[in-house]
Every structure is written in structure tokens, then in C-alpha cells.
Amino acid sequence: MPGQIPEARRNSFRGRDYFFVKVRIANMGGPPENSYGYLTIWDFGYGVFITSYKFNDEGLNHLNEICVYPEEKKTKI
């Protein structure tokens, strides 16, 4: 289904599911190596919560949708 995070990346901690994913920032421009980062996304059933990230540039200032690998689906946040 659209918007779902791949099951293969699922982990669990104290009963909560989380996903550690590599993401590409949509429509950033600039060199491709600056458009990647890493997120930890917690799934609480009613929504998701991002707890950590690391980008080589301004990253989340421009992030309104991500492509989750390996499928490269656009996932709204």
C-alpha cells in the first residue's frame, strides 16, 4: 500500500515498532551525495514520529516527502 514502510526494515523496542531507513530528499537539487540521510521512524499505530536524522546539508528544512529504500516510494510525512 502507498505510504507504508517496507516490512523488511521493521525492528521492535519495548513493544514499539521502528524503522531505520535511508532516505532521499525530494526535489533538493545540488549534488546527489548531499540529498541522502538516515531516519529512525517510530510507528505508534496512529502516526509516525521521527526521532533521529543525519544529513550532509540542510536536510529536514526541505523535507516534505521522502523516498523509502529500496522501493523508492514517496511517503508523505
**Cα distance between residue 45 and residue 36, in whole Å:** 26
Strands (E) in the chain, as ranges, are: 10-13, 16-25, 36-43, 48-55, 65-68, 73-76
pLDDT tens-digit series, residues 11-41 = 666 666 666 666 665 555 556 555 666 666 6
Q: Given this model, what pLDDT does residue 8 score? A: 40
**Cα distance between residue 30 and residue 10, in whole Å:** 31
C-beta neighbour count of 39 within 10 angstroms: 24
What letter represents residue 23's amino acid? V
Which one has a higher pLDDT value, 61 or 19? 19
Domain ranges of the chain: 7-76
